[in-house]
């Protein structure tokens, strides 16, 4: 079962990359990004798309590391179980 799931997920990712590659090759018109008054240099759509995907993958890999919740500490009572306090 895991082989089929791994194969299908790999196939979907490969088809996604192929679709992006075809889109990038067919759209070589230079474009520039504009944000308020700032404007970037003109780049082909494919290069811009590759940079955006790469930035998104890197950001998606590092954000979960930054948002991890700290591991729960053992309570004081559990810490005291190691010691014998009988009189």
Residue-wise pLDDT tens digits, 1-23: 788 889 998 999 899 888 888 88
Show the CA angle centred on residue 33, arms to residues 27 and 35, nearest 5°: 155
What is residue 73's three-state secondary structure?
A: coil
**Prediction pTM value:** 0.53
Confidence of residue 86 (pLDDT cuts 50, 70, 90): low
Q: Is residue 84 part of a domain?
A: no
| φ, ψ for residue 31, nearest 5 deg | -130, 160
d(CA 46, CA 24): 4
pLDDT at 15: 92
Q: Is residue 12 part of a domain?
A: yes
**Domain with 51 in it:** 2-66
d(CA 63, CA 46): 25
d(CA 2, CA 64): 25
Number of domains composing the chain: 1
């Amino acid at each position: 079962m895991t082989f089929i799931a791994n194969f299908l997920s790999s196939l979907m990712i490969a088809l996604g990359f192929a679709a992006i590659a075809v889109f990038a090759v067919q759209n070589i018109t230079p474009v520039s990004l504009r944000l308020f008054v700032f404007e970037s240099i003109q780049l082909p759509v494919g290069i811009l798309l590759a940079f955006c995907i790469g930035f998104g993958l890197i950001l998606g890999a590092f954000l979960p590391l930054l948002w991890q919740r700290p591991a729960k500490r053992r309570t004081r009572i559990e810490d005291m179980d190691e010691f014998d306090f009988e009189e």
